[in-house]
């Protein structure tokens, strides 16, 4: 069966090839006629259509050799014994006799395969190629209509008649981009193009008849001559800057238009740091490695190799030493976006605690002959010393521990409310103990805020008894309250003088050798209203503390809420007052008053920077273009455009408007287009104060009534 399939495929391929060879000479003849009659562009279109038609016809003829054709061929040759249909039937559906016959036919075909491929039609092929070649040769050699076949005599100089304008039959522009861009060669019929910088341009033009001279005229005055070769006028140039140009010939062309050639410069590569995320990284104690990842991108491709600059610093102050080394890296990924990765061994670099490791990647693009380079931003790894690491660790521990010692007023309220909800589940002693603990927290918080009012710190007083203590005694059971009007002598009292200090007692040592008002100066930073509010908050805390210490959290909640409200007012108040100091003016020299001496006095008016006026020639040209019959000096405008091309919004648009008006002097639309481009190029006038519009009759009557008032 495999041998039969190969023979069938060979037959279909031969039928397609025969059809293609029969149609190719006629497609060639049609393309030659189109070249002679319509030009190169029409000939390309006709040739493409002819080839596509030949391919479609060959495919259609090959598909005609289907399975039914194969069965007829096998039955006609006698090799299948009129049983070719059994070869393509499903073996499971055949009876034993049919399966035996099918096996016999396959064995016969394996031994003697009939000739399936069609024979070559040599006569038809010969006739088609002779006819096609004859038509092509006649089309190329047949003289043009109206042309002299064999002039009898050379025309005299006086008999010559001026010929009409020339016409462009075909145009072709070939762009060979630089090798570093990786762009293929581009061939197009349009003369406008956008190419890469340093691309090689090749023009090929064909006129309806040979001109005496032809060239490309650029807007900057440069001319590129065209040279004739086999009926085509050729020129080559290198694109370095955007230009406008047109085709000029002698005699002149019937239609001349401007063509724009934009040049795209190669951009420098850009480098982005992927890892680390921040430019300054604080290392960890004992860190051994540092991973760096970069991404470099470019419009035409980044070089595979890059250089990583690593700088290590050692020492401190003015005794800092630097050591720089460079490491070559190889990127991965596409050429337009390569990634570079490297892991630094800090021990091998000699990095020590207290020093810095600075890394920066330098990449190159594929620009030729001199590649462009770019550098990434510097990333710094700062290795901490043992002292800095210990300080940071200690600070973290303090931050985690301090909130456990100081409870906020809001937290005291939350704990008291939670304790009230748990009253039924707790025993009486446990309830009073927990309420007393919350009261101790309230006392600590009261003492903390009391420091800002200059109050003395209380000693470790014993908690009041949980029963038989009147409410009025609660404030006095813990400490003495001396407010803003206390005026006692800190030098000592009679009792303190008679009682000797106890060794190890912090209270007695402080009372003998120090002063307990350490925060008295902080109280002066508060204004009187803030002091009064804070004093009210402390009073409420005192009352809440007494209730909590006696196991009555329900009675303590109103005082705690009032204390929280007062604390919020204190937080929103102004804390510190700064003395207002007036300006220190120099003393007045009385001797110079009314003396008439103006020495040393200068005008207080600010000098105004002179504004550069626009070129009067450009303003005059703009005004002339606005007149119906005015003409402007186009050569002067072109020179001004070339001098100021770097400052104009679109220099090529202005140059195109100038050249278009030069080509068509009577075009009113071209004149208005050039005038609009000049208006965009002129400097904008500074805004002036608008004059107030005159008042109408009602407004004037109102103004007169105002002036008539006494």
Q: Which of 76-90, 216-230, 677-691 has the lowest mean pLDDT?
A: 76-90
Three-state DSSP at 277 gives coil
* Confidence (pLDDT) at 704: 87
What pLDDT does 205 receive?
Answer: 92
Residue 272 pLDDT exceeds 90: yes
* Helical ranges in 499-611 per DSSP H: 506-513, 520-523, 528-549, 553-572
Q: What is the pLDDT of residues 481-535, one digit of tens each?
A: 433 343 443 333 333 434 444 444 433 433 443 333 444 444 445 677 878 888 8
pLDDT at 620: 77
CB 269 within 8 A of CB 363: yes
pLDDT at 354: 83
Q: In the predicted model, is pLDDT for residue 200 greater than 90?
A: yes
Q: Which helix (H) or strand (E) holds 313?
A: strand 305-314
As given in the structure block, the two tokens for residue 419 are 């304790």
Would you state the pLDDT for residue 283?
87
Dump pLDDT digits (tens) for 13-26. Answer: 888 888 888 888 88
Starting from the edge strand earliest in sequence, which strands make up the sheet with 227-229, in order? 186-188, 168-176, 200-207, 232-238, 227-229
pLDDT confidence tier of residue 676, bands split at 50, 70 and 90 = confident
Give the chain's radius of gyration (CA, Å): 52
- Tokens 């393309």 belong to 31
Cis peptide leading into residue 311 (ω within 30°) = no
Q: Residue 293 belongs to what H/E stretch?
A: strand 289-297
Phi-psi region of 591 (alpha: psi -120 to 50; beta: other; left: phi over 0): alpha
- Yes or no: say if 81 and 54 are a contact pair by the CB < 8 Å rule: no
Q: What is the pLDDT of residue 360?
A: 94
What count of Cα atoms within 13 Å lies in the side-chain half-sphere of residue 65?
Answer: 20
> What does the mean pLDDT of the chain come to?
76
Sequence-distant (6+) residues with CB within 8 A of 674 are 625, 632, 637, 654, 657, 658, 660, 661
Is the model more confident about 99 or about 476?
Answer: 99
- According to DSSP, residue 424 is labeled T
Contact between 13 and 62 under an 8 Å Cβ cutoff? The reply is: yes
- Pick from 643, 634, 649: which is nearest to 683 by CA? 649
Q: How far is CA 506 from CA 52, 153, 464, 589, in A?
A: 110, 140, 22, 64
HEC profile for 150-186?
Answer: CCCCCCCHHHCCCCCCECEEEEEEEEECCHHHCCCCE
Q: Are strands 289-297 and 259-264 parallel, antiparallel or unpaired?
A: unpaired
Q: What is the pLDDT of residue 466?
A: 37
SS (H, E, C) 682-701: CCCCCCCCCCCCCCCHHHHH
What pLDDT is stored for residue 295 in this prediction?
94
Q: And the tokens for 98?
A: 């049919």
pLDDT category, 62, cuts 50, 70, 90?
Answer: confident
The DSSP bridge partners found for residue 412 are none
Reported as a single tens digit per residue, the pLDDT across 556-578 is 999 999 999 988 887 776 544 44
**Residue 78's pLDDT is what?**
60
- How far out from the chain centre does Cα 408 lie? 49
Encode burial over 656-679: b for 16+ CB neighbours within 10 A, e otherwise: bbbbbbbeeeeeeebbebbbebbe
d(CA 195, CA 202): 12
What backbone torsions phi and psi does residue 339 show, to the nearest 5 degrees? -120, 140
Specify the pairing of strand 243-250 against strand 373-375: unpaired
DSSP 628-684: SS----HHHHHHHHHHTTTTSS-HHHHHHHHHHHHH-TT-HHHHHHHHHHHHHHSPP
Q: What DSSP element (H or E) covers 341? A: strand 337-345
Element (H, E) at 272: strand 270-275
* pLDDT for the residue 528: 78
Q: What is the pLDDT of residues 204-231, one digit of tens each?
A: 999 988 888 999 988 888 899 999 988 8
What would the two tokens of residue 621 be? 């040209």
Question: Tokens 């054709």 appear where?
Answer: 69
Using alpha carbons, select from 289, 361, 357 the residue that is nearest to residue 331.
361
In the chain, what's the furthest Cα-to-Cα distance? 157
Task: State the first-to-last Cα distance of the chain, in angstroms, to the nearest integer.
Answer: 126
Highest mean pLDDT among 35-44, 73-82, 402-411, 417-426: 417-426
pLDDT given for residue 656 in this prediction: 83
Contacting residues for 425 by C-beta, under 8 A, at least 6 apart? none
Most confident of 294-308, 441-455, 692-706: 294-308
150 pLDDT more than 50: no
Distance of alpha carbon 517 from alpha carbon 179, whole angstroms: 85
Quick one: DSSP state of residue 229? E
122 vs 201, which has greater pLDDT?
201
Greater confidence, 57 or 385? 57
Among candidate residues 303, 292, 296, 301, the one with its CA nearest the CA of residue 270: 296
Which of these, 195, 193, 190, 220, lies nearest to 205 by C-alpha position? 190
Beta bridge partners, 344, equal: 290
Smallest CA-to-CA distance from 306 within 342, 279, 255 is with: 342
The CA distance from 373 to 370, in Å, is 9
Higher pLDDT, 582 or 544: 544
């Amino acid at each position: 069966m495999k041998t039969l399939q190969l023979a069938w495929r060979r037959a279909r391929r031969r039928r397609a090839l025969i059809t293609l060879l029969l149609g190719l000479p006629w497609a060639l003849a049609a393309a030659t006629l189109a070249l002679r009659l319509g030009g190169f562009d029409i000939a390309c279109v006709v040739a493409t259509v002819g080839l596509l038609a030949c391919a479609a016809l060959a495919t259609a003829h090959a598909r005609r050799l289907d399975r039914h054709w194969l069965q007829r061929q096998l039955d006609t040759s006698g090799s299948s014994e009129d049983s070719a249909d059994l070869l393509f039937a499903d073996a499971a559906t055949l009876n034993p006799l049919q399966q035996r016959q099918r096996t016999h036919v396959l064995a016969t075909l394996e031994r003697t395969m009939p000739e399936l491929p069609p024979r070559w039609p040599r006569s038809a092929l010969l006739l088609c190629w002779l006819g096609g070649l004859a038509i092509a040769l006649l089309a190329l050699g047949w003289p043009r209509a109206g042309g002299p076949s064999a002039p009898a005599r050379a025309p005299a100089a006086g008999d010559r008649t001026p010929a009409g304008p020339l016409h462009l039959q075909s145009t072709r522009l070939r762009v060979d981009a630089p090798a570093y861009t990786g762009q293929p060669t581009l061939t197009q019929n349009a003369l406008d193009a956008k190419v890469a910088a340093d691309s090689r341009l090749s023009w090929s033009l064909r006129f309806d008849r040979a001109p005496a001279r032809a060239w490309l005229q650029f807007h900057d005055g440069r001319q590129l001559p065209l040279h004739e070769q086999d009926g085509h006028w050729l020129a080559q140039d290198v694109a370095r800057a955007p230009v406008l140009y047109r085709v000029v010939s002698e005699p002149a062309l019937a239609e001349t238009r401007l063509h724009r050639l934009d040049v795209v410069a190669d951009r420098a590569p850009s480098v982005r740091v992927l890892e680390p995320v921040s430019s300054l990284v604080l290392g960890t104690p004992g860190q051994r490695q540092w991973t760096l990842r970069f991404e470099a991108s470019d419009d035409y491709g980044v070089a595979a190799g890059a250089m990583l600059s690593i700088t290590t610093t050692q020492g401190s102050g003015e005794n800092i030493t630097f050591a720089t080394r460079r490491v070559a890296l190889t990127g991965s990924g596409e050429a337009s976006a390569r990634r570079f990765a490297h892991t630094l061994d800090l021990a091998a670099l000699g990095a020590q605690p207290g020093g810095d490791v600075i890394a920066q990647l330098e990449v190159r693009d594929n620009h030729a002959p001199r590649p462009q380079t770019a550098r990434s931003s510097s990333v710094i790894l700062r290795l901490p010393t043992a002292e800095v690491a210990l300080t940071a660790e200690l600070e973290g521990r303090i931050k985690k521990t301090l909130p456990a010692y100081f409870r906020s007023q809001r937290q005291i309220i939350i704990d008291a409310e939670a304790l009230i909800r748990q009253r039924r589940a707790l025993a009486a002693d446990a309830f009073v103990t927990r309420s007393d603990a919350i009261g101790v927290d309230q006392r600590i918080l009261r003492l903390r805020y009391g420091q800002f009012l200059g109050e003395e710190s209380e000693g470790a007083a014993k908690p009041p008894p949980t029963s038989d203590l009147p409410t009025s005694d609660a404030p006095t059971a813990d400490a003495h309250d001396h407010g803003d009007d206390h005026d006692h002598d800190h030098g000592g009292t009679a009792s303190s003088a008679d009682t000797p200090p106890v060794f190890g007692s912090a209270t007695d040592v402080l009372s003998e050798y120090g002063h307990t008002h350490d925060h008295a100066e902080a109280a002066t930073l508060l204004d009187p209203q803030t002091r009064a509010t804070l004093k009210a908050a402390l009073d409420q805390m005192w009352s809440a503390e007494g209730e909590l210490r006696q196991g009555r959290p329900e009675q303590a909640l109103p005082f705690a809420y009032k204390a929280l409200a007062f604390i919020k007012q204190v937080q929103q108040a102004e804390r510190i007052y700064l003395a207002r100091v007036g300006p220190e003016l120099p003393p007045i020299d009385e001797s110079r008053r009314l003396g008439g001496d103006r020495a040393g006095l200068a005008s207080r008016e600010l000098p105004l920077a002179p504004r550069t006026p626009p070129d009067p020639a450009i303003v005059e040209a703009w005004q002339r273009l606005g007149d119906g019959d005015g003409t402007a000096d186009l050569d002067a405008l072109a020179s001004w455009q070339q001098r100021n091309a770097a400052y104009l919004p679109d220099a090529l648009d202005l140059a195109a408007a100038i050249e278009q008006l030069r080509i068509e002097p009577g075009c009113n639309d071209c004149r208005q287009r050039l005038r609009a481009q000049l208006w965009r190029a002129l400097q904008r006038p500074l805004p002036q104060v608008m004059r107030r519009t005159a008042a109408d009759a009602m407004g004037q009557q109102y103004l007169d009534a105002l002036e008539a008032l006494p």
